[in-house]
Amino acid sequence: MHLKRSDTILKPNQSRVLLRPFNPGDAQRVEGIVDRIMALPESRVGALLDGISAEFSERHQDIRKIFLERFAQVGEALPADAEISEERRLLIGSYFLAEYSLESAALFNPSMVPDPDQTDLPPGSLRFILSLRATGEGHISSITFRSGIVHHD
């Protein structure tokens, strides 16, 4: 296969994100955030939750489940006898999550190998898998993958 350099530039995709726990610091800060959420009227809780859910659900599956899981992790900051609506639990959980962009800073060190599945390709074409080192926020490195097809021309 004859190869030639192209003008294609691989750019970071900042929509490729992970959710990770957000820890604002010590227990006093956590309690302060929870206290402010607990002080909200229920009607405000629903409106805030709708906005946050709409934004996160575009990038994350089953976001309500993730919010509730995170609430369970920070729920110890609440009074044991507190009755908390599911919407408020979801909202509290959402405040203790943060998105992390895997590719926000750079992509480099590409490595390309043939894909094991070469079915349904035109003659002279090759499907490939590309791995890249991705640098995200805080210069944390990850490995990210892409796939594509090189055509004979």
Band the pLDDT of 57: cuts 50, 70, 90. confident
Q: What is the per-residue pLDDT across 79-96, written as a single tens digit (0 to 9) for each?
A: 777 789 999 999 999 999
Cβ-based neighbours of 96, under 8 Å, separated by 6 or more: 21, 22, 23, 24, 30, 33, 70, 71, 73, 74
Cα(120)–Cα(127) distance, integer angstroms = 10
Output the pTM of the full model.
0.74
Cβ-based neighbours of 76, under 8 Å, separated by 6 or more: none
Q: What is the per-residue pLDDT across 127-150, written as a single tens digit (0 to 9) for each?
A: 999 999 998 888 889 999 999 999
Q: What is the per-residue pLDDT across 93-121, written as a single tens digit (0 to 9) for each?
A: 999 999 988 888 888 899 999 999 999 99
Cα(67)–Cα(64) distance, integer angstroms = 5
Q: Give the count of beta carbons closer than 10 Å to the beta carbon of residue 70.
A: 21
Cα(101)–Cα(12) distance, integer angstroms = 10
Task: Report CA-CA distances (Å) from 140 to 71, 109, 132.
Answer: 26, 15, 14
Helices 86-95 & 27-38 angle (0-180, nearest 10): 140
Cβ-based neighbours of 23, under 8 Å, separated by 6 or more: 30, 96
pLDDT attached to residue 29: 92
More confident residue, 136 or 41: 41
Task: Report CA-CA distances (Å) from 50 to 18, 64, 88, 134.
Answer: 20, 11, 11, 32
